[in-house]
Each structure stands twice: as C-alpha cells, then as structure tokens.
Amino acid sequence: MLSLPAVFSQRPVQPRQPAEGPGGAEYCCSGVMVVDSANAAGGYWIYQPAEVLPDTAPLVIFLHGFGCYNPMIYGKWIRHLVGKGNVVIMPRYQNRLLQPRASEFSDVVAGSILRAMDYLRQHSDTPVGFDRPVLIGHSYGGVLAADLLLHFSEKKLPKPAAALICQAGTNIFRGGRVRNYEGFPGDVNLLLVVAKNDLLVSRRISKQIFRNTTHLNNRDMLILNHDRRGRPPL
C-alpha cells in the first residue's frame, strides 16, 4: 500500500508544449537575428528569423507591459513567434517607470513602429507583410494595442489583421484608455486573455472591450484559472 504522504506528493504534472499546431514545437526557423535600437523611449527591438525566408513573413507588433521594457521578460514568447516564421517589432515606450507620461505612450508607440518598419524596408532580406500586422499586447501593452486598433489610420499605421490582448490594464494610470471601444474594425480577429485571480490590473478593461465589440465577426475571451494542485502550480 502507498503511504498517504506518497499519494499526496504525486501531484499531476502540467501539460507539455504540443508537438504540432500553432503553439506546438514545430519550428521553421532555428535562429533569431536581433536589431537593438531601443536605448530610450521611441526606440525598438526587431526580432527576425536568422535564415532568409522564401515567402513573406507575417509582422507581429509586440507591446510590453508597464515597466517591462527588458525584452528578456518575454524571451521565450518572442523566440516562439520568430521560430514560427514571424518578424517581431517590440516598441519601447518608456525610458523609466514614470517617463514619459502615460498620456504619451500611444504616440510614442506609433512613432516607434513606423521607424522600425522603415528599418525593415531598407534592411530586411526576408520580405515582410507590412499591410496586415498582428498586435500582441500584455498588461499596459494590451490597452495600447486596443488604442491602436481604434486610431491606426490617424497614426498612419497599417490596419491590423488581428490582436491578442492579454491581461489588459493600467492600474492607477489613465493614459491610453478610452471610454468606448466600438470603433474596432469589424473584420479584425480579436482574442482577449484574462486571469481570474489577477489582482493587479483586474478584468475590467478586457470585459469592457468585449462588451463594446459585438460587431466583430470573430472575437473571443479566454479566462485563465489558477491551478495550485498541479506541478508546477499556476
């Protein structure tokens, strides 16, 4: 018979990365080439496959969270995106925590994206799909991604094809937030990701976006629950 301590110590292991599929371990590119032009707000990082790809590479614009302007925080995520054949632009919109002001973030991001796209047009050996980029925004970056979906035209940015808005929130700050998100393009593919126990940014903005975007043809919200019984706990 197994002892009780042995039984309780056998916690279920979290699932591993699947072998295939969008989140799977099948990669077309093994190396990542980095362009670091992010010494200050308004700069950018570019991550692209080290190999020259024969086909046009999709463009992903990755917006970091508040204070998360060290790209190592998102290293595995970015490596996964590049491994799937994407070119990733990561704008830097902060010099430090309180500079520039939050009300300036959106304009700083837009300028950074335009500069990074100009660089790619001049220097990338792989053709890049500039016309329909995908937005990924985490935390404050999720709020800024939503703002870009509303104002891409006036900021002279290409119309996004899709957006992944992950745990969007601004905490005590107001910059980048709007009263209503009904102006999202109707054909954008939208996925909102929220955490059930997120006490830092809550689910308020994501729920507002979801309520305001009933006109979208393809939208969904994914709620992440905690799992303290599995190994490692989530």
pLDDT in tens, 1-23: 555 555 555 778 888 889 888 78
Name the DSSP class of 99.
B
CA gap 104, 177 in Å, rounded:
12
Residue 175 has which token pair? 């910059």
Judge whether 85 and 58 are in contact, CB under 8 Å: yes
Over range 196-202, report the average pLDDT: 73
Residues in the chain, overall count = 234
> 128: part of which helix (H) or strand (E)?
strand 128-138
Place of tokens 């990733």: 88
Note the pLDDT tens digit of each residue in 139-158: 999 999 999 999 999 999 99
3-state class of 47 per DSSP? strand
Residue range 206-233: mean pLDDT, rounded: 90
**CA 95 to CA 39: how far, in whole Å?**
8
The number of beta carbons lying within 10 Å of the beta carbon of residue 135 is 27
What is the reported pTM?
A: 0.90
Domains and CATH numbers, the chain: 25-224 (3.40.50.1820)
Model confidence band, residue 30 (pLDDT cutoffs 50, 70, 90): confident
Lowest mean pLDDT among 34-43, 120-129, 199-208, 212-221: 199-208
State pLDDT tens for residues 64-118: 999 888 999 999 999 999 999 999 999 999 987 767 788 899 999 999 999 999 9
Is beta strand 218-224 parallel, antiparallel or unpaired with respect to 189-195?
parallel
Mean pLDDT value across residues 209-222 = 96
